[in-house]
């Protein structure tokens, strides 16, 4: 069984490698099989089709990431430190697979691309729930305002992360500083301190 799992991982790694230099429609399963050193039929033992293969390759490890986030990395840490740790984990995960997610987004508008996107949206909800759990605990502790639902705050937080790391140029001063800025903005807003109470 372990050998089969290794083979599945090799197939996903091959798909990722090809995705770095080609568009989704340019990649053939024959190419993936050749790079993974397996027969094309072996791919179908693990994946329903090409869409399924690329989706699983992109989201491999996502469940474990959600579990780490649910544990708030360290539930005893102050809220902003928990957010920093969550951001660092998310940033690392998506940086490793950035080309896969970009490919998924670029393929929207096609039938297969739309299906991949919808599958991703279902999984994304798991992450929203995980982050909402962390925010909900902070709301109960009185650290975070409770007049806005935790899942809505989690959606805003994840949206800010996506905008910073997917839609904007790479941070000049490094990811760590960009993450810190994002946390400050999320927790404090954009008003100058002197104007905050007005």
pLDDT value at 58 more than 70: yes
Distance CA 111, CA 108 (A): 8
Closest CA to 33 of 21, 41, 23, 22: 41
Instruction: Encode pLDDT of 62-89 as tens digits.
Output: 887 888 777 756 667 889 988 988 888 8
What is the dihedral sign for C-alpha 12, 90, 121, 66? positive
Distance CA 72, CA 68 (A): 6
Instruction: Encode pLDDT of 23-54 as tens digits.
Output: 888 889 999 999 999 999 999 999 998 888 88
Residue 106: the pLDDT is 67
Residue 198: the pLDDT is 43
Distance of alpha carbon 56 from the chain centroid: 13
Domains in the chain with CATH codes = 2-49 (1.10.10.60), 61-193 (1.10.357.10)
Instruction: Encode pLDDT of 142-188 as tens digits.
Output: 999 999 999 999 999 999 988 887 777 777 777 888 888 899 999 99
Measured CA angle at 195 (ends 190, 197), to 5 deg: 100
Residue 8: the pLDDT is 93
Residue 72: the pLDDT is 59
Model confidence, pTM: 0.75
Residue 154: the pLDDT is 95
Q: Is 22 exposed, middle or buried (0-12, 13-18, 19+ CB in 10 A)?
A: middle
Instruction: Encode pLDDT of 129-144 as tens digits.
Output: 989 988 998 999 999 9
Distance CA 32, CA 15 (A): 6
Residue 75: the pLDDT is 64
Query: What is the pLDDT averaged over residues 6-32?
Result: 90
Residue 193: the pLDDT is 65
| 1 confidence band (pLDDT: 50, 70, 90) | very low
Distance CA 143, CA 183 (A): 14
| 194 confidence band (pLDDT: 50, 70, 90) | very low
Distance CA 21, CA 172 (A): 25
H helix intervals, the chain:
2-19, 29-36, 40-46, 50-59, 62-70, 79-96, 98-106, 111-140, 150-162, 175-188
Choice between 109 and 182, residue whose per-residue pLDDT is larger? 182
């Amino acid at each position: 069984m372990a050998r089969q799992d290794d083979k599945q991982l090799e197939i996903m790694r091959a798909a990722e490698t090809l995705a770095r230099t080609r568009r989704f429609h340019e990649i053939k399963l024959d190419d993936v099989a050749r790079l993974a050193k397996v027969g094309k039929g072996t791919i179908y033992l693990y994946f329903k089709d090409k869409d399924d293969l690329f989706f699983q390759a992109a989201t491999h490890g996502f469940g474990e990431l959600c579990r780490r986030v649910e544990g708030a990395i360290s539930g005893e840490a102050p809220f902003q430190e928990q957010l920093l740790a969550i951001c660092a984990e998310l940033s690392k995960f998506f940086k490793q697979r950035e080309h896969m997610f970009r490919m998924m987004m670029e393929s929207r508008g096609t039938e297969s691309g739309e299906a991949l996107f919808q599958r991703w949206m279902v999984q994304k909800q798991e992450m929203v729930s995980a982050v909402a759990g962390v925010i909900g605990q902070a709301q109960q502790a009185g650290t975070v305002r409770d007049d806005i639902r935790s899942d809505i705050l989690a959606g805003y937080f994840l949206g800010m992360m996506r905008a910073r790391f997917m839609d904007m140029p790479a941070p000049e001063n490094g990811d760590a500083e960009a993450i810190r800025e994002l946390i400050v903005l999320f927790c404090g807003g954009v008003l100058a301190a002197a104007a905050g109470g007005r």
